[in-house]
Structure 1
Amino acid sequence: MGKSAALVAIVATMWGGVSAADPATTPEAAPATPLLEQTATPFVHMRSDFDFADNAALSNAKVTRTVHETISSHDPARISSGQMAYAALVAADTPAFAAAIERRANKPKKREQFLADLRNNPAMVRELEGSNEAIEAIRQVAARDAARIGQAGERYIADAYRLQETGWARAKLPANGTQRVNQAKAFAMKRDWPAIGNPPRIVSDAGNRQPNLNGAANWSTQWSAITPPRPIDLDTKRQIYLTKTLVLAVRYTLDDLNEGHVSAFGTDKESQRCYNYAQMNLAQCVSASRTAVEEAFCLGTHGLNDMSRCVGWIAGGGTPKG
């Protein structure tokens, strides 16, 4: 049995049922918030907060406070599942993969058979034409995003060293570290998340949907323009992660996605564990900090660098551990 067939066999033992998806030609008047976009929204919100952190100039202690509160306000489970949903949208937006789904489901009977095949063997998505291109797109986006977040983290660490002789940066902060961590938790509880809209979608004559992520700035696959290192080879955990995202992409395309599918295929323990540890390390570091300089170092090391490794995990991206 070859490597590809072996992988399909491994993944096929993990689930009992799922369906399909495809491309498009006509703009669609989308519902308020389609399920996959709704699930992906926490990840998109987090990228917006990283954007804020990346562009923030560390000019006073209030800046580090604001960056800490925004970055630490994200729930690890929601951003982990949000990233998987976003990856599924990236796959659904990959032309070769979308075209392959369209060919398999461009007639009602073909669609029924495709969905039946998917229910019986979800891992069959890896055998679709264009699946490798979709996987490459997912990993490239994750690697680029992680590289940008990590670059921001390195800047925060460099700024922390640079600001050590600056009066406001080395002055003791009014609230102690534990109080600041609790303030961040309170902010997260009451945070009013901004509306970000949905990316446009097009629909084919057969009713299959394809998102246009680059048609909406917040959703763009070009959020980061940094060229990352080559993604690492895929191990079994990453292979399974990617197979699950392709299943979500197919069901999304076929407009056959429900919450049960998202629960079954839209979670990953490794990813969530990474985000959990990053947030925990950030809270512990801030709780021990006394000055804005120390807080900036915590933000760079854990709020950005640790998080970059979580965002880039599927590609082995992010700032290497020092």
Structure 2
Amino acid sequence: MTQRFVSRGLTLAALAAVSVLAACESGPSKAELEAQRLAAEAAARQPPPIALNDGVAQAASIYVAYLREAGTIQPGGFDSAEAIQSALRKGVAYDPAQLSRGLIAYGAILALQSPEFVAGVRQYAIDPAQRQQIVAQIVADPAYAATFPGADAAAGLITDAISKDALAVRVIGEAIEQDAYTIQERSDPRRRWAVAHIQNREERLEGAKTLSAAQMLPSAEDSARLLTAASSGSGLGVTPSRKAPPYTPAVTRSLAIAALAALGAAGDEARANTEALTVETNNEFCLNMSKLMLYQCLAASRPSYEDMFCLGRHVVRDVASCTTTAVLSPIITVGDPQETGVTPAASAAQTAVAVTPAPTQTPAPSN
């Protein structure tokens, strides 16, 4: 009796095991399928991750590294003619096109530090069809990026950070110019060598042109740091700020690259788009004009204090002026036309000109 019940129990257990195995072989249960469906729907409602190719970070690193290097040129520290020439070689070593592209690339990474702007863009990235349509519209018209929610917060970060950096450089340039006056005073112990004529003036001018034409190399350390900041939306220590439109072409293009990144459409496959967006002719023109002013200044310069003037005015100060103008106003100016006839290097000062191309939008008020 007991053996029969045990045998029957084993048979029932075997049947149950077979049923379970059969159920497993037949596929997921309805509950499991429903859970999978809900998970798929939730994933479909998420936008793609933020994507920015390292070409943008490398371009930005070139701009950041040059501004940092320019900030090490300290006025009042020139104790020899060679010290002036060394600072001149350091300051002139930038390619206008690369520096301009780097500014816009850096502006894009600054814009990605705005959670408001990133969220405002990413809400339109959930639907794949809508996302592709918006990407195409930004590529066709970069100004479209300025219409996203939070664009004023992103533009504020761009203009505030870049104009502050430019102001710090401008202060150095103005101080160098002032030191060019000071060094001429009879009481200044540096006057003895400062008024002596520069040797090998032609070679010095050609050297400046060669350094200006050399390609600037990105910093691996800065590139990695900037790329991380772009992806994480933090790490640059920016101060929240807002700027209402209209925006300059440089700021507009920075916003466009940032918007593409927030849409997940600025990765390696989109290098052609991001590289095209970093090209902005107004700022490149300003920096190129500054170089021409510098070459004319150096060609006219004789004693070392005049080279000091050229360094302060047409390297450090003009870079700061072009940079500030790029983010605050579409009016491009290099030099100060109202200061003609100023010594030292009166003939060099007379080369200062104002260049005002037709603005592409209503000029933004300077902050």
Sort the TM-score into its range (normalised by shorter chain): 0.7 to 0.9
Give, as a single letter, the amino acid of the residue that structure 1 aligns with 2:197: K
Do structure 1's residue 63 and structure 2's residue 63 form an aligned pair?
A: no
Which residue number corresponds to residue 135 of structure 2?
118
Residue in structure 1 matching 2:219, options 192, 195, 198: 195
Q: Which runs of 5+ in 1 are unaligned?
A: 1-20, 215-219, 223-229
Give, as a single letter, the amino acid of the residue that structure 1 aligns with 2:107: A
Do structure 1's residue 315 and structure 2's residue 306 form an aligned pair?
A: no
Which residue number corresponds to residue 286 of structure 1?
298
Deviation of the 1:117 alpha carbon: 2.0
- 1:42-81 matches, within 5 Å, as 42-54=62-74, 57-81=77-101
Give, as a single letter, the amino acid of the residue that structure 2 aligns with 1:183: G
Q: Secondary structure at the match of 2:180?
A: helix
Which residue number corresponds to residue 21 of structure 2?
none
- 1:93-242 matches, within 5 Å, as 93-105=113-125, 107=126, 110=127, 112-120=129-137, 122=141, 123-164=143-184, 165=186, 166-176=191-201, 178-187=202-211, 193=217, 195-197=219-221, 198-199=224-225, 209-214=231-236, 238-242=247-251
Q: Which runs of 5+ in 2 are unaligned?
A: 1-46, 340-367
Cα deviations by residue, 1:73-125 (Å, 9 ceiling, x for unpaired): 211111111111111111111221122233333x4xx3552232231354432
2:60–2:106 CA contact under 8 A, matched in 1: yes
Deviation of the 1:240 alpha carbon: 3.8
1:209–1:253 CA contact under 8 A, matched in 2: no
Cα deviations by residue, 1:140-162 (Å, 9 ceiling, x for unpaired): 12221221121111100111111
Which residue number corresponds to residue 287 of structure 2?
275
Which residue number corresponds to residue 5 of structure 1?
none
Which residue number corresponds to residue 3 of structure 1?
none
Query: Cα RMSD (Å) of the superposition?
Result: 3.3
Q: Secondary structure at the match of 2:159?
A: helix
Deviates more, 1:153-162 or 1:46-55: 46-55
Distance, in Å, in 2 between the alignment partners of 1:192 and 1:275 is 15
1:152–1:300 CA contact under 8 A, matched in 2: yes
Distance, in Å, in 2 between the alignment partners of 1:253 and 1:199 is 18
TM (norm. structure 2) is 0.65
1:22–1:92 CA contact under 8 A, matched in 2: no
Aligned residues: 273
Higher relative contact order (Cα pairs below 8 Å, separated by 6+ residues): 1
Distance 1:168 1:23, change over 3 A: farther
1:308–1:319 CA contact under 8 A, matched in 2: no
Deviates more, 1:93-102 or 1:79-88: 93-102
2:174–2:317 CA contact under 8 A, matched in 1: yes
Do structure 1's residue 252 and structure 2's residue 261 form an aligned pair?
A: yes
Deviates more, 1:242-251 or 1:310-319: 310-319
Between the two proteins, what is the percent identity of the paired residues? 22
Distance, in Å, in 2 between the alignment partners of 1:22 and 1:161 is 58
Which residue number corresponds to residue 36 of structure 2?
none
Q: Secondary structure at the match of 1:52?
A: coil
2:95–2:214 CA contact under 8 A, matched in 1: no
Q: Secondary structure at the match of 1:174?
A: coil
1:42–1:78 CA contact under 8 A, matched in 2: yes
Give, as a single letter, the amino acid of the residue that structure 1 aligns with 2:182: R
